[in-house]
Amino acid sequence: MLNQFMQSRLRGLIVLAVILYTIPAFLSNPFHYDLATQMAIIAATVVGLNLLVGFAGQISLGHAGFFGLGAYFTGIMTGNYGWSAIPALVVGGILVGILAWVVGRPILRLKGHYLSMATLAVGFIIAIVINNESQITGGPDGMPVPPFDVFGWELSPFGSYSLFGIELNGSQAWYLFAAAVLLVAVWLAQNLIDSPIGRALRSVHGSEVAARVVGVNTARYKSLVFVISAIYASVMGGLYAHFQGFITPAVASFDFSIVLITMVVLGGMGSTMGVILGAVVLKLLPQVLTHFQEMEAVMFGLILMLTMIFMPKGLLPTLQMAVSKRLKKRAGGQA
Amino acid sequence: MLKTFMRRAGKFAAIAAAGLVMSASVQAAEPIKIGSFLSVTGPASFLGDPELKTLQMYVDKINEDGGVLGRQLELIHYDDVGNASSARNFASRLIRSDQVDIIVGGSTTGATMAAVPLVEQAKVPFISLAGAVVITTPVKEWVFKTPQTDRMAAERILTDMKDRGFTKIGLISGTGGFGASGRKQTLDVAKDMGIEIVADETYSGSDTDMTAQLTNIRNTDGVQAVLNFGFGQGPAIVTRNYAQLGIKLPFYQSHGVASDSFLKLAGDSAEGLRLPASPLLVPNALPDSDPQKAVVQNYKSEYEARWDSKVSTFGGYAYDGLMLAVKAIEAAGSTDHAAVREALENIKGYVGVTGEFNMSPEDHNGLDADSFRILEVQNGDWKLID
């Protein structure tokens, strides 16, 4: 039983790994790698957000704030104070985690969607601070961020590297790295979901009263998962900053928070693989629709609406259900 | 059966042959690819929209006249919606996927600076249409720009103030990118010129009333003139509040509001204020000896005839960007990136809509502060002062 369980969890991860590492076969130029790397980083952020939305049933409207805070913290620390990237990411993650705890803990004792309002406010405040503290953050014009480094070894999208004797350019190396990060993010999330914490969370999502009755400390679990998802956002924001090499306050904007939520809803709340698909689709959209740029906001709204109406469970879960239904029918017919 | 197959095969062969012929003729004169990412929609659309229209119009015109080096120009354009991350992505797409020969674009400083690291690494010549001084100071090998810097605007305003004998001034600026950078440059230039900034107030882009800040400035001892560095609707509100409070001190605005729409927004309150601007606002007032007069008049009439809308300073930046690119490609005799870059750097005496460009390895903007004209609002219209 346990064995089977382990297998199913690993299976998803292996499928994802295979997909991630066969994608390079279809990418023909550094621009594609560029986009794929961003997709992986954003997907990992959304996997974290999905823990909160899909499992604890809470909505954060300020996740871009945490993402932006992580991005700016790493950018400032590595750029102005000579920190190395890893400690900057870790400390940034911890600080953002503490902030999320301070915000979430009192609010999550309440029932209902008060967290959305609080995160909405926090997100806005973060964006305003980043915009106005131009001595530190460069203000609305943004600031440059040095490349990612580990112990003096630099990973720049413009460098060239060799891995096991294969020559890679910087974009390819970054993609491989980002794909690995995404795998780790998914693995961590899956473990969390299948742990006692995950079960407690799902019970909260199902019925908070029932969960309380059987002795689940709902406030504690909800704040815990909120903190974890904020840390996800912060660390990914930091990586994103290193990859982009230049950040502006747009990374912390309310618009971006909405994009993140849309990815979760579109892909399928509660489905880790689903939200990755959501991130990929929404990240690809602006590039596909370059000729209808002015319609982008309309398209976003339309997609969100249509998913809510026709696929309330999201893209991937709906597809999976349709496929398994058909398979069952076929199996039934044969028998 | 065989007959239909034969007929189909024949058709296919004909199409394939036609395709081959066409691709061969295309190869004979492969177009020069000019890449562009502009903020055509979104909050900065007042910049990107006239810029794109100008680029489209003059690319068509140049192609009708036979192109450049006997090759046609092809404009590949993306809209970054005023978002720096998309600007970077589209710059990446232009460089790596479309493999353009030169980039003319970047409506805002944020969008430009987000693309700079990519451009520098990929070694593609890039002419930015954004204002801030950071774009070309320090000089970046592959990055050029056509608008005057905000530093020049500050220099021009403060020189005019000094000429009129003002040495103690009040400053009010927006907290947006333009205002923040302008404030910094003004403080810097003022120090060099011996002008004292006795009051320093700010407002945010969404503020609807600036009387508090203006009252502070009015109540400051010894203030002789007031300067507002801002963008969008903020400066219009400041101007209205200024008149409502009955402040009699001479009032200056920055080049950020040098457009006819500002006159409409500010109405009578704008009477008597001065600002540095492109000669594009007063083409007919320029003396005939001014080398820019013909260029400016031409651009204005061509633009207004084609698009049936008022010409704007920002479109002028795109005009100069495109013309500089064309000049450089002609001088280089090819689209080789390094040769074009070098040719760009050596352009001297090109008279554009914005001013006279004299590029050098130390100066990738090529304009001086005098390319700004000081205008005064008189009877609801611009009047050329200097």
The full length of chain A comes to 335
> What is the residue-averaged pLDDT of chain A?
86
- A34, A132, A245: residue with CB nearest B117: A245
Q: Do A30 and B96 touch (CB under 8 A)?
A: yes
Residue A7's pLDDT is what? 57
Listed residue (A46, A41, A31, A64) closest to A290, CA to CA: A31
Domain residue limits, chain A: 2-285
Whether B12 shows a pLDDT value over 60: the answer reads no
Percent of chain B with pLDDT over 70: 93
- A32, A248, A296: residue with CB nearest B114: A248
Whether B27 shows a pLDDT value over 50: the answer reads no
**Backbone torsion region of residue B246, taken as left when φ is above 0, otherwise alpha when ψ lies between -120 and 50, otherwise beta:** left
Sign of the CA dihedral running A36, A86, A232, A67: negative
Band (pLDDT 50/70/90 cuts) for residue A10 is confident
pTM to 2 decimals? 0.79
Residue A9's pLDDT is what? 67
In tens, the pLDDT along A126-152 reads 999 998 887 788 877 788 888 888 876
- A30, A134, A246: residue with CB nearest B88: A246
Structure tokens at A198: 């995950």
Structure tokens at B92: 């990446």
Residue B311's pLDDT is what? 86
In tens, the pLDDT along A208-241 reads 888 888 888 888 888 999 999 999 999 999 999 9
Listed residue (B293, B250, B310, B300) closest to B275, CA to CA: B250
- Work out the angle between the directed axes of helices A218-244 and A63-80 (0-180°, nearest 10): 50
Q: Do B117 and A251 touch (CB under 8 A)?
A: no
Whether B129 shows a pLDDT value over 80: the answer reads yes
Residue A93's pLDDT is what? 96
3-state SS assignment for residue A93: helix
In tens, the pLDDT along B307-353 reads 888 888 889 999 999 999 999 999 998 889 999 999 999 999 899 99
In tens, the pLDDT along B86-117 reads 888 899 899 988 899 999 999 988 889 889 98
Task: Decide if A244 touches B, using CB distance below 8 A.
Answer: yes
Q: Chains A and B: how many Cβ contacts under 8 Å?
A: 83
Residue A102's pLDDT is what? 93
> What is the residue-averaged pLDDT of chain B?
86
Residue A293's pLDDT is what? 63
Mean pLDDT of B273-297: 87
Whether A88 shows a pLDDT value over 90: the answer reads yes
In tens, the pLDDT along B138-161 reads 899 999 999 998 899 999 999 999
Structure tokens at A63: 């996740």
Chain-centroid distance of CA B205 in Å reads 20
In tens, the pLDDT along B66-91 reads 889 889 999 999 988 888 888 888 99
Considering A142-156, B60-74, B248-262, the range whose residues carry the highest mean pLDDT is B60-74
Whether A267 shows a pLDDT value over 90: the answer reads no
* One-letter identity of residue A131: N
3-state SS assignment for residue A154: strand
Smallest Cα distance from A224 to chain B, Å: 31
**Pseudo-torsion of CA B220, B386, B240, B230, nearest 10°?**
-80
Whether A334 shows a pLDDT value over 80: the answer reads no
Q: Do B84 and A31 touch (CB under 8 A)?
A: no
What CATH topology corresponds to A2-285? ABC transporter involved in vitamin B12 uptake, BtuC (1.10.3470)
The rounded distance, in Å, linking the Cα atoms of A202 and A210 is 11
The rounded distance, in Å, linking the Cα atoms of A144 and B50 is 29
Give the residue with greater pLDDT, A44 vs A139. A44
Residue B26's pLDDT is what? 45
Residue A189's pLDDT is what? 92
What CATH topology corresponds to B151-279? Rossmann fold (3.40.50)
Smallest Cα distance from A256 to chain B, Å: 11
3-state SS assignment for residue B274: strand
Band (pLDDT 50/70/90 cuts) for residue B2 is low
Q: Do A139 and B180 touch (CB under 8 A)?
A: yes
Smallest Cα distance from A221 to chain B, Å: 35
Whether B5 shows a pLDDT value over 60: the answer reads no
Which residues lie across from B71 on neighbouring strands? Answer: B68
Residue A301's pLDDT is what? 79
Q: Which chain A residue lies closest to B183 (C-alpha atoms)?
A: A134
Q: Which chain B residue lies closest to A253 (C-alpha atoms)?
A: B83
Backbone torsions φ then ψ of B147, nearest 5 degrees? -75, 155
Band (pLDDT 50/70/90 cuts) for residue B19 is very low
- B41, B110, B134: residue with CB nearest A294: B41
In tens, the pLDDT along A101-111 reads 999 988 888 77
Best of B96, B133, B187, B202 to disrupt the A interface (most A CBs within 10 Å) is B96
Whether B14 shows a pLDDT value over 70: the answer reads no
In tens, the pLDDT along A290-315 reads 776 667 778 777 877 888 888 888 88
Residue A197's pLDDT is what? 85
- B85, B96, B181: residue with CB nearest A244: B85
Sort out which chain B residues have CB atoms less than 8 A from A131's CB and list them: 175
Residue A66's pLDDT is what? 96
- Spatial strand order of the sheet with B274-277 comes to B196-203, B168-174, B225-229, B251-253, B274-277, B373-378, B381-384
Sort out which chain A residues have CB atoms less than 8 A from B109's CB and list them: 141
Mean pLDDT of A258-283: 89
End-to-end CA distance of chain A: 27
Give the architecture-level CATH label for domain B32-149+292-371.
Answer: 3-Layer(aba) Sandwich (3.40)
Band (pLDDT 50/70/90 cuts) for residue B261 is confident
Band (pLDDT 50/70/90 cuts) for residue A40 is very high
Q: Do A140 and B121 touch (CB under 8 A)?
A: no
